[in-house]
Homo-oligomer: A and B are copies of this chain.
Amino acid sequence: MIEKLISEIHKKQAPIVVGLDPNMAFIPSFIKKAAIEECGETLEAAAGAVLAFNKAIVDAVYDLVPAVKPQIAMYEQFGIPGLIAYKETIDYCRSRGLFVIADVKRADIGSTSKSYANAHLGKITVGKKSVPVFDADFATVNPYLGTDGVKPFLDVCKDEDKGIFVLVKTSNPSSGEFQDKKIGWNTLYELVGDKVEEWGKDLRHGQYSDVGAVVGATYPEMGAELRERMPHTFILVPGYGAQGGKGADLKGFFDKNGDGAIVNSSRGIIAAYTKPGYEKYGEENFADASRAAVLDMKQDLKNAIA
């Protein structure tokens, strides 16, 4: 799977993921108003607004970027209607030729992690029939439970040609509380990074494996260090833009060929119309603002990698 994503990054010349994290605060009021007029102040209305918003963004950027990353928490918060919108978002993005990275950060003990892996990437058997469920291309995975929690995802990656990104060094301010702790000569995140390399050993396609890592744009020195330390691990980089990561800081996440990483921006793109420099588009043209923000991000990263 990873080689397909890399090929699409090359084709579109954009190592960019658009984070589809549709916080209600980002959704233009005319969309919310229409949804509430149709369904009342209900979860259905919220979910309807989310889906309409997502589709407009996707229509505006699908030819520019290789992938999207819906953050399932933003859909789960609206219960069943929200999760229906999540599934419809995945299907819509795939129909537009985009790779879908399900940002679910799941993991559990082995037998349970298998259910998560089937749910998000694989198939589930009912009677004699095998049915895909949420059917994303990649999923994010939490490493705290160790190999047991990750192994079922590796199996599904192999069987169904999918990929994962394991949390190594997350972008949030308190990520160092445990992740940066020294264990002998290494930090916890370095040990997790070493495991990610190991987990990906049988899933390599060229330089990189289907087992990637999440490393936050907010920690550029650690990103550069992990790039060296995990030579076969593709890096998903959240935290660009709204969380403080800048293009100039990201060079170290990429390898000498300019490969090896894909950078996510959520708010910076989907809520661009509320940000300085894009306000001129106005709420009505929020999707045009998103397109402009993608083009600017593409240039910012191009300058950084060059």
Whole-angstrom distance between the Cβ of A218 and the nearest chain B Cβ: 10
Given A83-B83, A127-B41, A149-B172, A144-B112 contact (CB < 8 Å): no
Partner of A145, one of B108, B124, B174: B174
Which residues of chain B are near A21, meaning CB under 8 Å?
Answer: 112
Cross-chain contact B80 with A84 (CB below 8 angstroms): yes
Interface size of A by CB at 8 A reads 73
Partner of A77, one of B133, B175, B184: B133
- Copies of this protein chain in the complex: 2
Interface flag for A54 (CB, 8 Å)? no
- Report the bound CA distance from A188 to B105 in whole Å: 20
Nearest CB in chain B to that of A79: its residue: B133
Interface flag for A303 (CB, 8 Å)? no
Most chain B CB within 10 A, of A45, A84, A133, A238, is at A133
Which of A113-121, A203-211, A274-282 lies at the interface?
A113-121
- Report the bound CA distance from A261 to B87 in whole Å: 38
Which residues of chain B are near A111, meaning CB under 8 Å?
Answer: 23
Partner of A175, one of B74, B105, B126, B145: B145
Interface flag for A297 (CB, 8 Å)? no
Nearest CB in chain B to that of A192: its residue: B178
Which residues of chain B are near A142, meaning CB under 8 Å?
Answer: 105, 107, 142, 144
Contact digits for A145-177, partner B, Cβ 8 Å, 1 yes 0 no: 111110000000000000000010011111111
Whole-angstrom distance between the Cβ of A136 and the nearest chain B Cβ: 12
Which residues of chain B are near A45, meaning CB under 8 Å?
Answer: 126-127
- Report the bound CA distance from A188 to B116 in whole Å: 25
Nearest CB in chain B to that of A116: its residue: B73
Interface flag for A34 (CB, 8 Å)? no
Interface flag for A241 (CB, 8 Å)? no
Contact digits for A77-98, partner B, Cβ 8 Å, 1 yes 0 no: 1111001100100000000000
- Report the bound CA distance from A178 to B77 in whole Å: 30
Cross-chain contact A179 with B73 (CB below 8 angstroms): no
Whole-angstrom distance between the Cβ of A122 and the nearest chain B Cβ: 9
Interface flag for A182 (CB, 8 Å)? yes
Cross-chain contact B73 with A80 (CB below 8 angstroms): no
Which residues of chain B are near A80, meaning CB under 8 Å?
Answer: 80, 83-84, 87
Partner of A108, one of B71, B87, B179: B71
- Report the bound CA distance from A127 to B29 in whole Å: 10
- Report the bound CA distance from A192 to B146 in whole Å: 15
Binding site for B on A (CB under 8 A): 21, 23-24, 32, 36, 41-43, 45-46, 71, 73-74, 76-80, 83-84, 87, 103, 105-113, 115-116, 118-119, 124-129, 131, 133-134, 142-149, 167, 170-179, 181-184, 188, 191-192, 195, 238, 243
